[in-house]
A and B are shown apart, each in its own frame.
Chain A
Amino acid sequence: MDVIKSVQTYITKMFGEVNGMKVLLLDADTTPIISMVMTQSQLLSREVYLIDRADNKQREKLRHLKCICFLRPTGESIQALVEELREPCYGDYYLYFSNTLKKSALERLAEVDEQEVVREVQEHYADFLAVNPDLFSLSLAAPADPIFSENSATWDTRTLTRTAEGVLAALLALKKKPLVRYEKTSVLGKKLAAEIVYQIQQEGPLFDFRRTDTPPILLVMDRRNDPVTPLLNQWTYQAMVHELIGIQNARVDLSVVPDVRPELKEVVLSIDTDPFYKKNMFLNLGDLGMNIKTYVSEYQSKHRSTQSIESIADMKKFVEDYPEFRKLSGNVTKHVTLVGELSRLVGKQGLMEIGELEQGLAVAENHAADLKLLRQMIERTNIPEDSKVRLVLLYALRYERSQSNSIGALKELLLRSGVSEKKVGLVDLLLQYAGADQRVEDIFSNQDVFSRTKKVFEGLKGVENVYTQHTPRLVQVLQEMMKGKLKDQLYPFVEGGTRDKPQDIIVFMVGGATYAEAREVSKLNASTPGVRIILGGTTIHNSASFLREMSDSVARWTGKSSDTRSPLPERLRTVRT
């Protein structure tokens, strides 16, 4: 189970069927799908010499080229293809669709292909962005693709369809016909799970796979049950880059970095072609620093040997090593710039202290001390507003149920320190979005005696790193599931059921996964023989995108949101008075 390999296999098959000079036509959806797993030179080596958008009207007629179309069967793409086939620019057409093509669309295409240029029509289910070998994303985030429509229990129809299609495509790409489980409290998760099961039944023959020892499990989870993970600062490479700079389709925009060299304005982080990244993506900043040091010195030693070209033999050696050397040189600069920028941001924004408090809020109950520290943080000026707000958000989540909480007072403090009202409003929005009432389980383990005790025992194990104490809730769920102890009442099956311990697990997070979770999944994959886990999400969040999604969603509910009864405003009022 490796989503990157699956997508690559699909693409290789597409190009393998056609010999000769090729042009590749893509649409808005498939462009990132391909660019996540293929480089320009890999495409060139498969004789793809021209890549263009299918809806580009200004294409030249080149009848000697063969055309490969990889499109998502959306209305727009089909329309673009219809127009293309009416007046074909290229010689032969090989049509590949990233998902199930409707009969009507097929008929339409057949009708316009009067010049009989289409040679092949296939469905290759690479309809998701393969981020890591065990992480995929559908890149659906508010406001462009909102999850909710008018209340917290209703999917946006378009997003639901897209999500279901994306998950089904992932299942087909991995050849899994799973039993589907969902979180009981999540209405959206239940709806999606039911939709997926229904679609699997509809597409019966497609899902006819070899029997496995135990059926694979698809677990649909809801981001709202763990709002803490996306709010925390991250300290491992991949997650940190996403949190502090942002990764968009494996590309990192560095144009905001001061004094950046022009060729590094945008860099690509690809596991496939960047061995350093592959090795270090899950390491924390400290270890990363060490590794990058050795990486640089390795480069320098190579560089020195190439600088002293005196004899023809040196020259030859240089030429032999040159392509590799050049690749290495580019890569070294890229990572040095990235890590440099990360540590600059950490220093500038005082992230070490913030991180410590964040972790404290996330894992341990310590009201008085937390509150004191938090007040100090808010009053300091060298800490960015967003971090302050995030700290208060974490505080609010943890102490929401506590009688003596001072959420109100903290909000006022934020306002006084010059944070805009809109940002302070996030606190209420978050509690509405993912407050204790909305969550399935007690993620902070502070609501009853039993969980508190468990916490005490866990605390005895000792802390490895003060910045990485918090483990996402997903880990606990997965561990229970691997032991076969995940409760059926809390995580019901849509249909059927098994008591076996699962060997292949696909987790899909409605509302977006995080790179922190991806790291945990990859750790679990490495440490548990015989179990393979893949994580997927509607998108991959950092704190900024999570808060954006959250406020957008709550804004959609308000007005009509009768079902999200929130006792919160009442209580806040009493606290304030």
Chain B
Amino acid sequence: MVSLAQLNRHIDDLHSEDDTKEAILSWLRRTQRRVAAPFTRAAQKTSETLTSLTLDRITQPIAAGVGVVPPTFELNPNGTPTGGIREELTREMGGAGESDPGVETPINRGHWQREGANDVCASAGCGKSLGMRNGKHNCRRCGRLYCDAHSSYQMRLTTDARHDPVNGHWHRTCGSCFEGRDGYRDTSGVIRNRTRTFLQLRKVHIDRLHLESNKLEKRLDKVNFGAPFLGAIKPLPIRLPTLIYLCILFEFAAIDQTVVTWEDDSSATACPICNKGFRALVNRKHHCRLCGRVICGAEECSSIVPLHASEAADERHPDRVGEIRACRDCNSIVFRRRADRLDKPTTSPVVKAYQAISTCRARVEQVLPKFNEQLMILSSQVEIKLEDSAYLLAQKHRKSLMDYFAELDRLSKQIKALPAKSSDTRRIQENISLSTLQFLQTHMFTLRLMPNAGRRAPAPQTVVISSSPSSPAPPKPKRAAEPPKRPLSPGTQAELDVLEEQRRQVEGFIDEAVRRRKLEDAAMLRESLMELEDEIERRRAGGR
């Protein structure tokens, strides 16, 4: 019989690779070589590895040991733990399995879970029995036993089974160790905070600005000092001869000039702000009284600034004592602080109402978990008595929650009804009311889980309480028709509260439905609303 090697040689010599059959053969040959190669190498290594074999490795039964990765067989040491052909071959080769573990970098096995007869995979929800079929592997890190699929992860571990991405060697681990590495599930990306640089840059600029503005404010004060006289002269009933008037004006110009040296008229050819050239009549020259530059009189370059008796006085004080011309730059600098003051947020009714909403929300978020906790306690009891402390406490929380919800609803309606000056304000108000509605929808449903005293509580397992908006609404305990009216006021009152609450909610839904043009929904809801109102009426009558 020809050996495979002989056949190979024959093929190499006589058949060139030009037809498909030939190609298949060459492929087979290459595969065969690939499969066989590790074993020749393994044979060479067997002697070395046998010597390095330690006792605890032998305790590892072969049945479980076959799955142990022989990493050096792979080009790449972190090969997915071998399954398939190589492992089967290893098993066929019998003793070879024993020598394999020797090539894995040594790792501490003290923490490994001892193998028993009926091991199951430690992965949550897997529970496969471990053995030949499903494999049986210790996670090298946590030491627990896993099946093939749940231990097919690789990470770098040190010899004492700690995770070390730099100096560790590749080892088989379980999914939870793999994913439990620091930062593996991290979804927060990098954030670079540039605030400090920004503030530093701004500070330099602002400091300069402060200096400038102080200087200009001083000048303004000085100009101001002269202005009242001029202001007094102007409205004088007697018509002063023009010449005298001009003289006085000229005099004051002189005062102004003591404040700041005026730029020479003749040297200025164009306005430094708009760059338009000066002309004798069309574009006249003016002096900024604060910086002394020559500027043009165009609206965007300079303006007449009203002067008040004192800058510290009430800014809305109507007494104007005079006016000066100031260029745009000076104007913005010197009045920066005042503009700041004027712009301060006024306490608009929206802000006030919104603050109230925020506090209400915060309270709800405080009380609701307490209430839910009591509910949990109640739902675990079979019989609920009226004087039960948990029941009373729950009742109390519920009452306060109801108050908050009612308040929220009122506030949201109030905000919506506020007059809006512009489309932006309107949008804000609508959005606030919408979000309050959302808040109510997501937080109100547990209120209805309140069991009635004296009645059998619903089976505990049906009640899942969650206040997070994302979680689906929990299954509601089934309640048949409302219990018969009780003459006692707390019960009736509570029921009325519930009904009122629902009515409000349904009204909200109707608005919403109409807005979204879902008219059939709205019609259905309206019907229900009427029903609800009837019910409330009946109860009111009964209560009294």
| A contact residues vs B (CB 8 Å cutoff) | 2, 5-6, 8-10, 13, 19-21, 41, 44-45, 47, 49-50, 52, 59-65, 91, 100-101, 106-107, 109-111, 113-116, 118-126, 172-175, 206, 209-214, 262-263, 306-307, 309, 311-313, 315-324, 326, 449-450, 452-454, 456, 483-484, 499-501, 529-530
Q: Are A118 and B27 in contact (CB under 8 A)?
A: no
Is B214 an interface residue when CB atoms closer than 8 A count as contact?
no
- Given contacts A316-B479, A501-B76, 9 further A-B pairs with CB under 8 A are A5-B187, A6-B189, A44-B431, A45-B469, A60-B423, A62-B425, A213-B155, A313-B480, A450-B23
- Alpha-carbon separation in the docked complex, A209 to B184 (Å): 12
> What chain A residues lie within 8 Å of B351 (beta carbons)?
21, 64
Residues in B neighbouring A61, C-beta threshold 8 A: 343
- Measured between alpha carbons, how far is A211 from B184 in the docked complex, in Å? 11
Chain A residues within 8 Å of B278, by CB: none
Q: Determine the residue in chain B with the shortest Cβ distance to A174.
A: B189
CA distance A529 to B439 in the complex (A): 40
B190 near A320: Cβ-Cβ < 8 Å:
no
Minimum CB–CB distance from A531 to chain B (whole Å) comes to 9
Contact, CB under 8 Å: B427 / A453: no
Q: Are B481 and A313 in contact (CB under 8 A)?
A: yes
**Given A64-B351, A211-B165, A319-B505: A324 and B473 interface contact (C-beta under 8 Å):** yes
Residues from 396 to 436 in B contacting A, C-beta threshold 8 Å = 421-425, 427-428, 431-432, 434-435
Q: Of the 9-residue stretches B98-106, B233-241, B375-383, B528-536, which lies at the interface with chain A?
A: B528-536
B189 partner, pick from A115, A172, A210, A306, beta carbons under 8 A: A172
Report if A322-B78 is in contact (Cβ < 8 Å); known contacts: A106-B197, A123-B191, A211-B165: no
Q: When chains A and B are docked, how far (Å) is the Cα of A106 from the Cα of B190?
A: 19
A110 vs B203: C-alpha distance when bound (angstroms): 8
Q: Are A41 and B187 in contact (CB under 8 A)?
A: no
Taking a contact as CB atoms under 8 Å apart, the answer to whether A213 and B340 are in contact is: no
Chain A's closest residue to B27 (CB) is A453
B residues 174-213 touching A (CB-CB < 8 Å):
175, 178, 182-183, 186-195, 197-199, 201-202, 205-206, 209
Q: Are B194 and A106 in contact (CB under 8 A)?
A: yes
Known: A9-B188, A106-B194, A453-B27. A313 touches B336 (CB 8 A): no
By CB atoms of chain A within 10 A, which of B23, B192, B348, B505 has the most?
B192
Sample of 20 A–B contacts (CB below 8 Å):
A49-B427, A60-B422, A64-B351, A114-B209, A123-B191, A172-B189, A173-B189, A206-B192, A210-B182, A211-B165, A213-B156, A309-B524, A312-B482, A319-B505, A320-B476, A453-B23, A500-B78, A501-B78, A529-B149, A530-B175
CB distance from B66 to the nearest CB of A (A): 20
Contact with B448, one of A119, A320, A453, A529 (Cβ below 8 angstroms): A320
Is the Cβ of A122 less than 8 Å from the Cβ of B191?
Answer: yes
The answer to whether residues A315 and B354 also contact, given A45-B435, A123-B194 and a CB cut-off of 8 A, is no
Question: Is there contact, CB below 8 Å, between A322 and B509?
Answer: yes
Total inter-chain residue pairs, C-beta < 8 Å? 229
Q: How far is the CA of A455 from the CA of B286 in the complex (A)?
A: 89
Which residue of A59, A107, A311, A483 contacts B481 across the interface (Cβ within 8 Å)?
Answer: A311
Contact B201 A106, beta carbon cutoff 8 Å? yes
Which listed residue, B189, B422, B435, touches A47 by the CB 8 Å rule? Answer: B435
Q: Do the beta carbons of A453 and B531 come within 8 Å of each other?
A: no
Question: Which residues 502-544 in B have Cβ within 8 Å of A in the complex?
Answer: 502, 505-506, 509, 516-518, 521, 524, 527-528, 531-532, 535
Q: Is the CB of A6 within 8 A of B445?
A: no
Contacting pair B435 A44 (CB below 8 A): yes
Report the nearest B residue to A91, measured CB to CB: B345
Tell me if B54 counts as interface (CB < 8 A to partner A). no
Partner of A210, one of B78, B183, B354, B518: B183
- Which residues of B are interface residues toward A (Cβ below 8 A)? 17-20, 23-24, 27, 75-80, 149, 152-156, 165-166, 168, 170, 175, 178, 182-183, 186-195, 197-199, 201-202, 205-206, 209, 332, 336, 339-340, 343-346, 348, 350-351, 354, 358, 421-425, 427-428, 431-432, 434-435, 438-439, 441, 445, 448, 469, 472-473, 476, 479-482, 502, 505-506, 509, 516-518, 521, 524, 527-528, 531-532, 535
B348 touches A64 (CB 8 A): yes
* B517–A262 CB distance below 8 A: yes
Hey, which chain B residues are within 8 Å of A116, CB to CB? Answer: 202, 206
Determine which of B193, B434, B445 lies in contact with A122 in the assembled complex, contact meaning CB atoms within 8 Å: B193
Question: Given the complex of chains A and B, what is the CA–CA distance between A63 and B347 in angstroms?
Answer: 10
- Is A313 a contact of B479 with CB atoms below 8 Å? yes
Closest partner residue, chain A, to B354 (CB atom): A21
B165 / chain A contacts, CB cutoff of 8 Å: 210-213
| Choice from B166, B193, B532 contacting A315 with Cβ under 8 Å | B532
On chain A, the residues within 8 Å of B195 by CB distance are 119-122
Q: Which residue of B lies closest to A14 (CB)?
A: B191
Within the complex, which residue of B78, B192, B202, B532 is in contact with A113, where a contact is CB–CB below 8 Å? B202
Question: Known contacts being A115-B340, A126-B189, is A312 close to B23, with CB within 8 Å?
Answer: no
Report chain A residues within 8 Å CB of B19.
449
What B residues does A315 contact at CB under 8 A?
502, 528, 531-532
Contact of A6 among B24, B187, B340, B527 (CB under 8 A): B187
Which chain B residue shows the least CB distance to A64?
B345
| Complex Cα spacing A530 to B171, Å | 13
Q: Given the known A-B contacts A50-B431, A120-B195, A452-B20, are A60 and B425 also in contact in the complex, defined by CB atoms under 8 Å?
A: yes
User: Nearest 9 pairs between A and B by C-beta?
Assistant: A110-B201, A173-B189, A44-B435, A64-B345, A5-B187, A49-B431, A110-B202, A484-B76, A211-B165
Contact, CB under 8 Å: A62 / B191: no
Q: Which residue in chain A gives the minimum CB-CB distance to B77?
A: A500
A316 to B448, Cβ gap below 8 A?
yes
Residue in contact with B521 in the complex, picked from A313, A326, A501, CB distance below 8 Å: A326
* Nearest CB in chain A to that of B529: its residue: A315
Cα A397 to Cα B445 in complex, Å, equals 61
With A110-B198, A122-B195 in contact, do A214 and B190 touch (Cβ < 8 Å)? no
Which of B165, B188, B194, B506 has the largest number of chain A CB atoms within 10 A? B194
Q: Using Cβ atoms and an 8 Å threshold, which residues of chain B touch A49?
A: 427-428, 431-432, 435
Give chain B nearest CB distance to A154 CB in angstroms. Answer: 31
Residues of the B chain whose Cβ atoms lie less than 8 Å from the Cβ of A2? 187
Contacts of B343 in A (CB 8 A): 61, 63, 115
Known A9-B187, A21-B432, A499-B75; contact A323-B528, beta-carbon cutoff 8 A? no
A162 nearest CB across to chain B (Å): 19
Complexed CA–CA distance, A452 and B26 (Å): 13
Alpha-carbon gap, A20 to B435, bound state (A): 13
**What are the residues of chain B within 8 A of A122 when measuring CB–CB?**
191-195
Q: Which residue of A lies closest to B445 (CB)?
A: A320
Give chain B residues whose Cβ lies under 8 Å from the Cβ of A499.
75-76
**B509–A13 touching, CB < 8 Å:** no
Docked-complex contact B502 and A173, CB < 8 angstroms = no
Tell me the minimal C-beta distance from B458 to chain A in angstroms: 14
Name, among B19, B27, B428, the residue most crowded by chain A CB atoms within 10 Å (CB to CB).
Answer: B428
Whole-angstrom CA separation of A2 from B156 in the bound complex: 23
CB-defined contacts of B152 to chain A, threshold 8 Å: 529-530
Nearest chain B CB to A61 CB, angstrom units: 8
Query: With the chains together, A172 CA to B192 CA distance in Å?
Result: 10
CB distance from A504 to the nearest CB of B (A): 10
Q: Among B80, B340, B445, which residue has the most Cβ atoms of chain A within 10 A?
A: B80
A59 to B502, CA, bound (A): 39
Which residues in B have their C-beta under 8 angstroms from that of A306? 524
Q: Which residues of B contact A530 (CB under 8 A)?
A: 80, 152-154, 175, 178
Bound together, the chains give a CA A320 to CA B449 distance in angstroms of 11
A175 and B190 within 8 A (CB): yes
Bound-state CA distance A115–B338 (Å) is: 11
Q: Are B336 and A213 in contact (CB under 8 A)?
A: no
Which residues of B have CB within 8 Å of A214?
Answer: 78
> Within the assembled complex, what's the spacing in Å between the Cα atoms of A5 and B518?
33
Q: Which residue of B lies closest to A46 (CB)?
A: B435
Report B-chain residues with C-beta under 8 Å of the C-beta of A110. Answer: 198-199, 201-202, 205
Q: Hey, which chain A residues are within 8 Å of B518, CB to CB? A: 326
Q: B532 and A60: CB pair below 8 A?
A: no
